[in-house]
Amino acid sequence: MRQRNLGRGFSMQLHEPATNGLQVVRASPLQRERLGFSDLLIESPTWPELERSFAGYKVLPPKFAPRSGRRPRRRTLLNASSEPGRWAGVVSPCPAADRLVRVGCQWATPRVGVPAHAPLGMNFAASFWTGLDGDLGTSDVVQAGCDGQVVATPGGPQISYRPWYEWYPGITEWITNLAVSQGDVLRCILTVNAANMASATVMLANVTTNQLIQPFTIQAPPGQRLAGNCAEWIVEGFGSLGPMAVFDPVRFNGCSATSANGRLVTGGAGRTLNIVDGGLTLAAAQITSPTDVRVIYV
């Protein structure tokens, strides 16, 4: 394990893969059952499937670059209207007297585009991610996902996709050496250290290209600990990257989280959130199965 100093009191640990290849899951079926793993739907990956699927992937040591802007809290508005917020998706609460310590899902990277009559040279963006905390009374968020950015040009829209991680309100960085294209399936698992709730391991893979970023551990902002009070699967209008981009429907599969006491929480147990601006709904969420969430641009 190697340590990386991020400055301003932040650090990161990089986990070395095993010499005979990455081995993510070592628990027996009985141990997985005791941890709360269960088969939910054939068409959606469950926890063992999500983790086992990383075996045999090409492991890439992560490379990072500062991510533009600062992620706002969900209740920050797109403009001066009285409507909330920047998130469309699902938030699932943690069971009483417990805390969530793991969350994950996968999704196919949707096409992003510019709205009608967009001026040339203007940037638009939408962000697709999974995470813990940030709603139901908490303001910090540990999260990872992918930004879709598009700019209107005379020759047509120029589109780029960049995966990232963040522990808001701390450091956020793009992961620069995991290439992502439209249609690529991304798979993400975040695991919080239940002993201190102040560090989390990020696992992010491009299923389509069979590449996995070497798992790394990030630290909470100084003086903060994760509450573990909710899990989320979200499309976000990340305003500092540009106004909300148009995007094709995105389906988050295998939306699952586990608690410190081994209880399973799914996206189907949560509540939906829509992005509303000036009284107009820009993006809307639907729960389509116990572990699947669909978000559409309206």
Q: Could you tell me if 254 and 104 are in contact, meaning their C-beta atoms sit under 8 angstroms apart?
A: yes
What is the arithmetic mean of pLDDT over 281-296?
96
The pLDDT score that the predictor gives to residue 226 is 98
Q: What is the pLDDT of residue 176?
A: 98
Task: State residue 272's pLDDT score.
Answer: 97
pLDDT surpasses 70 at 29: no
Give, in degrees to the nearest 5, the angle at Cα 59 between 8 and 26.
Answer: 95
User: Which pLDDT score is estimated for 3?
Assistant: 64
Round to whole Å and give the CA distance between 143 and 133. Answer: 9
- Of 3-7, 119-123, 247-251, minimum mean pLDDT range: 3-7
The per-residue pLDDT for 51 is 72
Our CA dihedral for 238, 293, 280, 80, rounded to 10 degrees, sits at -40
Residue 16 Cα distances to 3, 199, 284, angstroms: 11, 17, 40
Do 107 and 192 meet the contact criterion of CB atoms below 8 Å apart? no
Band the pLDDT of 270: cuts 50, 70, 90: very high
33 falls in which pLDDT band (50, 70, 90)? very low
CB atoms under 10 Å from CB of 252, counted, come to 28
More confident residue, 277 or 6: 277
How confident is the model over 197-207, as a mean pLDDT?
Answer: 96
Cβ atoms 158, 191 nearer than 8 A:
no
Give per-residue pLDDT as tens, 76-102.
Answer: 333 322 234 799 999 999 999 999 999
Domains of the chain (ranges; CATH) run 2-297 (2.60.120.700)
Greater pLDDT, 70 or 158: 158
Instruction: State mean pLDDT over 243-258.
Output: 95
DSSP conformation letters of 5-71? EEETTEEEEEPPPPTT--------HHHHHHTT-----TTS--HHHHHHTTTTPEEE---EEEPSS-P
Across the range 157-169, mean pLDDT stands at 97
How high is the pLDDT of residue 4? 63
Question: How many other CB atoms are found less than 10 A from the CB of residue 43?
Answer: 10
Residues β-bridged to residue 103: 190, 257
